[in-house]
Structure 1
Amino acid sequence: MRDVLAADATGVIRGRWDVPPLFRPPTPPRHFVGRDAELRAIRAGITVLTGAAGVGKTALALKWLRERGSGVQLYVDLAAHGIGRVLRAFGLNVAPDDESAVFRSLVARRQFTLLLDNASSAAQVRPLLPPSGTVLVTSRTRLGIGHVTDVGPLPDDGRLWPLLDLSYGELPERQARLYRLCAWQPGVFGVPEAASVAEEPACEVEDALDDLVEKSLLTEVGDDAFRFHDLVRAHARTKR
């Protein structure tokens, strides 16, 4: 295995060259429509995809990487992994104060196309940005960096309903049942309400709701608060 070289304050550090499996981009959704304008808006340099939870920011970024990205790609879910863990996966053990510099050096030297998913603030992202290359960032808020592309709910252009049918057909039974039942909740609802209508433990229902958010069938609007897009709610109410 070849070495990758990254310089920190104390000298040169040796580590693995290939991207560890945990930090390779996941496969984008098989059923993907209706984001042509947003795909065209992503450009070289830094692009921030911003929008509500569950609206499809990550799916859009992964779709772009698969179809239009170039070179070796590195995916970091900032909500789940610190940069120290990323570096250790590459075999780079450095002091906390040096992590940002070593990470930037790693990305720049390998010329990674970088996806920073679920960023919470500009302060979290800025120390990780390499001096050049393509970086995609997803965030619920505008970060004041790079080129911003707003990701809103999918419009009904005649293709969404068949897509919803396909997505629904692939749901495990618990998620499918919750999808149907919660569609009759008015407006925003929480885990307790969903658990009540499903007559299941709240902890299990919460996991199933998170799965629906990840599949863009439900939108998270706050801590343990969810809502349906009007068209998705209408679709769910047709299912039995």
Structure 2
Amino acid sequence: MGDVLAVAATGGIRTRDDVPPLFRPPAPPRHFVGRDAELRCIRAGVTVLTGAAGVGKTALALQWLRERGSSPQLYVDLAVHRIGRVLRAFGMNVDPADECAVFRSLVMRRQFTLLLDNASSAGQVTPLLPASGTVLVTSREKLDLGHVVEVGPLTDDGRLGPLLDLSYVELPERQARLYRLCAWQPGAFGVPVAAEIAGEPACDVEDALDDLVEKSLLTEVGDDAFGFHDLVRAHARTKR
């Protein structure tokens, strides 16, 4: 009843028939291997994928949506978008106090399979959860919500090497160079160290490092600190 009243209070909300492009799930990585067990663990209801930055939580969620998720699907990056922006993309102008209730009604009415990416806390997610349906949440934190799947670093089952080769050849030159050079830096390193190694401005290097994290070739290990999984480091050191 609360959700119905919230919708009615906005005065004739109109929705589009399709999901706005900004909130459609991106395609999963072209080269995806080694997560069969984790894919099997995702289930109906709420599933939280938790793990370190760059470990592949979002890639895992997107692959599951492509292989096994129902349609239609709605993707919200909570680190980038507020719920009000999502609603406005559907043609809704909602009082901020009603946004979460209207969002839940939208998800229920359209029967979306929902991916909430980059959640920072359970408090951020809980007000957005519909009463039923399938919701995937990714977070660096272990959120006490539904079924939790811990996503660790990939292990080499014989497919990782070829996968890394494919990912490497698709890197732009700046990223590929950083990938090669930083692999020789022992332990974790920050942007200033990477910039000195590469002989490039820190702002350019930081963007390239963030891209390597997004491609799961590098891992954030702290505030402004990066590191390699041992298997990835060994791969990077073979490149010239």
TM-score, with normalisation over the residues of structure 1?
Answer: 0.96
> Do residues 164 (structure 1) and 168 (structure 2) align?
no
**Map 1:117-128 → 2, pairs under 5 A:** 117-128=117-128
Deviations 1:125-166 (A, max 9, x none): 000000100000000011101100000000011110110000
Q: Is the Cα–Cα contact under 8 Å of residues 51 and 141 in structure 1 kept in the other structure? A: yes
* 1:72-96 superposed Cα distances (whole Å, 9 cap, x missing partner): 0000000000001101111101111
Rounded to whole Å, the distance in 2 between the matches of 1:202 and 1:158 is: 36
The Cα of 1:181 is off from its aligned counterpart by 0.4
What are the residue-to-residue correspondences of 1:85-234 with 2, within 5 Å? Answer: 85-234=85-234
Q: Which residue of 2 aligns with 1:8?
A: 7
Q: Which amino acid aligns with 2:205?
A: V
CA RMSD of aligned residues (A): 1.2
Alignment check: 8 A CA contact 1:9 1:98 kept: no
Give the match for residue 78 of structure 2: 78
Per the alignment, do residues 6 and 106 of structure 1 end up closer, same or farther by CA in structure 2, a change over 3 Å counting? farther
Paired residue secondary structure (1:13): coil
Contact 1:6–1:106, Cα closer than 8 Å, also in 2: no
Could you tell me how far 1:54 is from its partner in structure 2?
Answer: 0.1
Aligned length: 236
Structure 1 contact 218–227 (Cα < 8 Å) conserved: yes
2: CA distance between counterparts of 1:168 and 1:214? 13
Query: What SS does structure 2 have at the residue aligned with 1:154?
Result: coil
Q: 4+ residue stretches of structure 1 with deviation over 4 A?
A: none
Identity over aligned pairs, percent: 83
Where do 5+ consecutive residues of structure 2 fail to align? none
Q: Is residue 49–residue 148 contact of structure 1 (8 Å, CA) maintained in 2?
A: yes
Q: Distance in 2 between matches of 1:77 and 1:106?
A: 17
**TM-score, scaled to structure 2:** 0.96
Quick one: distance in 2 between partners of 1:213 and 1:227? 10
TM-superposed deviation, 1:17: 2.4
Separation of aligned partners in 1, 2:14 and 2:63: 32
One-letter amino acid of the counterpart of residue 217, structure 1 = L
State the one-letter code of the partner of 1:33.
V
Q: Distance in 2 between matches of 1:180 and 1:6?
A: 57
Give the 3 Å change call, closer, same or farther, for CA 158–24 of structure 1 in structure 2.
Answer: same
